[in-house]
Amino acid sequence: MELSRRTVIAGAGAAAAGAAATTALGGTAHASPGRGKPARTLFGRLADGTKVHSWSLANGGTRLKVLSYGGIVQSLEVPDRRGRHANVSLGFGTLEEYVASSPYFGALIGRYGNRIGAGRFTLDGTVHQLSVNDGANSLHGGERGFDKRVWDVEPFAEGSDVGLRLSYVSADGEMGYPGTLRTRVTYTLTRHGDWRVDYAATTDRATVVNLTSHVYWNLAGESGGSVADHELSIAATRYTPVDSGLIPTGELARVGGTPFDFRGAKPVGRDLRAAHPQILYGQGFDHNWVLDKGVTARPQHAATLRDPASGRTLRIATTEPGLQFYSGNFLDGTLVGTGGRVYRQGDGLCLETQHFPDSPNRPSFPSTVLRPGGTYRSTTVHSFDA
């Protein structure tokens, strides 16, 4: 297997790797991309020889690196209140690490974000058995979801926007899902430095779809350690409690008076150790919040995450009705990140816009069914300031 430049860097000692990787990401080794068409470099090769590229784009102060493998956001740099950039998205320096064992760092998730109970659902009277990869359940599309596929990537620069159009055709029956799913995800950096994600999909047979992005945020920088001091607010009065396998019970419970109340900004760590049965199930927060705005035609405010130390603030607006807040509970100190430092529990958190987990088995939840002739659409906008 050909070694990418970053593979060689990661092969050096941890300290050297940290310094070298920071240089590479900070744009000293590669000239930092200005606004203009995104640029492509070889990131590595899969075992079968398939090339994986890294695309660099920048606009409005935000710098993004995206891999054709999994549509992975490998690096996302934004300035702090003094104008200093840091990569705020957890990830790896090499393709080999992404392939070997990644907890979905930065990846596109499909066909179905989060869990489907027993990896099974019935649609129009037919039972579909999915690939099961999380105990008895199917998580994030099954054993080989969209995060492990090589996407076609087309760069664009239109008006004041720059971006990438990623497409992937998922064959009928892939991971047990019915229908050929033609998927297109557009990553746009706006002149304000917003990162916008537009998802679209069509099918030739009735199916279910729920696409999302699995960036782990650490607004202090990906090597910044615990995000317990980050302040989070979520515009949701209810959430979906789960059973011990993290499958929703079907109830929409009120957040008031519980650790799940993020209606006002609250440090992520404040209630993370609350002896609440739901916290024990997820070993922290790993739940779907029911956004008060519901499904909307245009992206509307869902959540704000802020690191008081750096001032970096992320605002998320979405068309989706739900938000999975996962507090990085299963990071266990066994992975070395982009900057050469070990990731431990709670060193990053995910805010995944989505339809609710297990919706195909819950007729009372907003529907995730897509039929031939229809188009699945979903948009999430990430805005940054400091």
Kindly list the residues in this chain that would bind ligand BGC in the complex (CB under 6 A).
103-104, 114, 246, 286, 324, 326, 330, 350, 352
DSSP class of residue 112 equals: B
Residue 286 or residue 347: which is nearer to ligand BGC going by CB? 286
Q: Is the peptide bond before 184 cis (omega within 30 degrees of 0)?
A: no
Residue 176 or residue 357: which is nearer to ligand BGC going by CB? 357
3-state SS, residue 20: helix
Q: In whole angstroms, how close is the CB of 157 to ligand BGC at the nearest point?
A: 32
Q: In whole angstroms, how close is the CB of 218 to ligand BGC at the nearest point?
A: 15
Task: Answer positive or negative: Cα dihedral of 226, 195, 101, 112.
Answer: positive
User: 344 has which bridge partners?
Assistant: none
Which residue of the set 287, 352, 355, 382 is catalytic? 352
Confirm whether 140 is a catalytic residue.
no
- φ, ψ of residue 20 to 5 degrees: the values are -65, -45
Q: DSSP letter string over 40-106?
A: EEEEEE-TT--EEEEEEEEETTEEEEEESBTT-EEEEEEE-TTS-EEE-B---SSHHHHHH--S-TT
Residue 55 or residue 146: which is nearer to ligand BGC going by CB? 146
Q: In whole angstroms, how close is the CB of 211 to ligand BGC at the nearest point?
A: 13
Say how far apart CA 207 and CA 123 lie, in whole Å. 8
Residue 144 or residue 192: which is nearer to ligand BGC going by CB? 144
Say how far apart CA 145 and CA 339 lie, in whole Å. 27
Residue pair 365/208 in contact (Cβ under 8 Å)? The answer is: no
Residue pair 53/184 in contact (Cβ under 8 Å)? The answer is: no
Residue 43 or residue 216: which is nearer to ligand BGC going by CB? 216
Confirm whether 230 is a catalytic residue.
no
Task: Answer positive or negative: Cα dihedral of 163, 90, 46, 5.
Answer: positive
Residue pair 221/348 in contact (Cβ under 8 Å)? The answer is: no
Pairing assessment for the beta strands 115-116 and 138-139 based on DSSP bridges: antiparallel
Residue 54 or residue 114: which is nearer to ligand BGC going by CB? 114
Joined together, the tokens standing for residue 106 give 């930065």
Which residue of the set 140, 214, 230, 355 is catalytic? 214
Residue pair 238/248 in contact (Cβ under 8 Å)? The answer is: no
Please give the positions annotated as active site: 214, 352
